[in-house]
Structure 1
Amino acid sequence: MTELRTLLTKGLRPGVYRWPSDTTTDQVRRAATEAGWGFVLLDTSELHDKSGFLDLCATAFDLPRWFGRNWDALADSLSDRSTGEPEIVLWAGLHHLLEHDHDTVDVALQIFTEDVTASGQLRVLIQEHPDAETPDLLSSQPVL
């Protein structure tokens, strides 16, 4: 986990990054906390659709009750976050959701890469399974 801690300390740029699955959630959480960053876990390994994803985001990001549970509201809510500290988002289970609802994954990644990184707060780590192929929609993202 020293690699992540070093990257955070040196100022990891906002964006979406592939991250190896052999790193546990607790290790990522600990590295983020030790570097003074916030930590958010998005575990979509049990989700099947957009509604479930938006509900998960509302809870994980502690969005306000008025959050409209649509894509525009998610983009606005995340880009307006003013927690005062950069945050690491660990997205586990992307491939499971991708199997059930490719469009939801595509739009979520678009929000994370375009709208949210403009705010400079979020760095999203996509936790990959070693035996899973990374979908094409990630091919243009930075690789750590």
Structure 2
Amino acid sequence: MKRAIFPGTFDPFTTGHYSVVQRALTFMDEVIIGIGINESKNTHFPIDRRVQVIQDFYKDEPRIKVMAYSNLTVDFAQEVGAKFVIRGIRTVKDFEYEESIADINRKLAGIETILLFTEPELSCVSSTLVRELLSYNKDISQFIPKGMEL
């Protein structure tokens, strides 16, 4: 079975994240959305809420699991038996950052990283920007997957 993790804070889970998951399902048997607990990040939604919202959204997709983790991503991947890490790339800056992490993960655990480039129409969507819109009570419906309840 080809199992991958898709790690992130997902605060909130955006249309960009959704696109990456859907595309990963075309070549993976299972995708585990790993919600990293990072105390240094200023999150809008508590971790339990993020897990619940994404689980509810994917309740009818048995190939998707949602889990929180607080250790290194590479260790989380090993714990769940994933041989791949899926990451979305929007910019050259993202690529350079992800390349370094991918190299370390491969050296530490033999885990390969698969980079999926963002679809052009989603390149402006980031959780950071969506959180900012939320803080100003703006409508974010176009930036989260249809049917997702925050």
| Structure-2-length-normalised TM-score | 0.33
TM-score where L is the length of structure 1? 0.34
Question: Higher relative contact order by CA 8 Å / sep ≥ 6: 1 or 2?
Answer: 1
